[in-house]
Structure 1
């Protein structure tokens, strides 16, 4: 890998599924990069393509009729061009994933310890005794109380927070260079969420890992991520450093997501702003900007094909919207909410 090259560089990733006799694009032309020890937030509403992007990178989409194109260079090697055997060697060892629901990600008929042991024995070639000692050590590092006994328990015997910690321990067992975390705080109470986020922030310090953090929670992104990529209906709406994107959102969708975060100070609004309507189904996606039917500022030029091209606000901030090019400012209340939230 060349000096200063990104750890992961994704170029024009497209994922399409065969439906009703035609190929329906779920993810279209997504590009981003993750540097060494960097945390990138991938955000958007449910159905925006976040998990599909992660599954495609991991080589975990094996549905009949799927078509995946583009490039995903990890340490100079294209993940999308690798064979199944090559990916199995890489998964767990170099790239690991924390799944959204650890209850379904763990095998229910084996103990937590057995499942972590297996990964260590396969990838690290440890003996049974060495693997179990490392498993107990990892669970302890993740803040699991009484890790020795916890290792002998089955997934259903643990709380949601403990299962998530065990999932993180498994993901980190081989010291991966890249960790993909798919909504790791979903369905957890606020206290446990804060603990999990602290673990995520400490990953790069302790293990030197880079993180692709998938979430719909803009507050989590503000606290955790160096860069942010906003997806809408399978396309990139806006991307940039988290600080710049939160302080000066350029896409109405990004601004609306930020406006929906409750303010922690100042006058309390009677009702939080909401985005009208819902994201389009893949078969009903407009030819132009997919957000146009829900956007207060859409006009005739937003709807025709092709979708708006990226406009560079600066070298670290880009947006797929016509408003910045037309010089149309976003509403002041969006900027006020954003500044207060950050």
Structure 2
């Protein structure tokens, strides 16, 4: 099988369709919701951004979709259909066949994702041979080709190095090579540019943007950086306290956010033109822990537009605020629009 296959033709059927997806954990006799009623779709060769602060539930959502949360106190409900196959409740044996081959993940910290006692090349070889009928020699050749495709210099020598012997940028490239080793249809990238310098970030983002044209892959891109989303994603989901606050095509969502949380995230990025402020606006406070959510809107205590109804009533279900644009907020439901913000600039541009 070639390393760089011809991308498949676009299929109108969603590659991944998630509906009312929830993750909860039982603690001291109390059920705490970590992720609640999250719904979205990812089409063929789409790049979809999942955005929010730390603690918003982004990584929990990804790990649950991958079947990597197996603690006895955790409950996963709802539906997640991948190529028509239900993932929720799928037996471990069948899920292992999908992981790596059909659905792959770039973990947030490649230093801890790689096993430190094996070379990087051995670990990529092992994944290839687990899912493909290739000899050790063929798997090794493919590993070297993949590392070269990811821009790793001297890939033959680098394949024989241990994770701690590679720089952060090279480890991330090796992690992407391992994720792509079986040409997955869906790649979940969990904060792939965290702790990398700006130049390496730009290179990693170029690699991820090129995946759909070179490999035909779709990407669920998890990040807290709205500037990166603006550069990379076709559609965006904004997650807050385990719930979707706003979702839509990236261009529409950035042009006119309908949820105060989205607007606050965008306001924290330097504007494209004009005088840059000496100090960027910050969102006061922090997202609530699952056990400390307020009775009304979870964002209410930090919201500049909060009013009495927000403090007592839960936010409404997602309502249409434009073409391919929805928000879960009382403001648009009551006919109020947020003030239009300035366009944002990516820190990589």
Identify the TM-score tier after normalising by the shorter chain: over 0.9
Q: CA deviation at 1:230?
A: 0.1
User: Which residue of 249, 252, 262 corresponds with 1:241?
Assistant: 249
Confirm or deny that 1:178 pairs with 2:178. no
Q: Secondary structure at the match of 2:60?
A: helix
CA deviation map 1:36-78 (0-9, x unaligned): 0000000000000000000000000012210000000000001
Q: 1:159-308 counterparts in 2 under 5 A? A: 159-308=167-316
Supply the RMSD in Å over aligned alpha carbons.
1.5
Distance in 2 between residues matched to 1:88 and 1:309, nearest whole Å: 34
Determine if contact 2:257/2:263 at 8 Å carries over to the other structure. Answer: yes
Partner of residue 131, structure 1: 139
CA deviation map 1:108-166 (0-9, x unaligned): 00000000000111101110000000000000000000000000000000000000000
User: Which residue of 63, 80, 103 corresponds with 2:88?
Assistant: 80
Q: CA deviation at 1:81?
A: 2.3
Distance in 2 between residues matched to 1:54 and 1:213, nearest whole Å: 10
| Structure 1 or 2: more helix by fraction | 1
Q: Secondary structure at the match of 2:22?
A: strand
CA deviation map 1:241-274 (0-9, x unaligned): 0000000101000000000001243112121111
Report the TM-score, using the length of structure 2 for normalisation: 0.94
Q: CA deviation at 1:281?
A: 1.1
Confirm or deny that 1:118 pairs with 2:126. yes
Distance in 2 between residues matched to 1:337 and 1:91, nearest whole Å: 38
Partner of residue 336, structure 1: 342
Q: Secondary structure at the match of 1:303?
A: helix
User: Any gaps of 5 or more consecutive residues in structure 1?
Assistant: none
Partner of residue 318, structure 2: 310
Distance in 1 between residues matched to 2:101 and 2:285, nearest whole Å: 42
Distance in 2 between residues matched to 1:95 and 1:311, nearest whole Å: 31
- Provide the aligned length of Structure 1 versus Structure 2: 338
Partner of residue 103, structure 1: 111
Moved over 3 A (4+): 337-342
Distance in 2 between residues matched to 1:65 and 1:327, nearest whole Å: 42
Report the TM-score, using the length of structure 1 for normalisation: 0.96
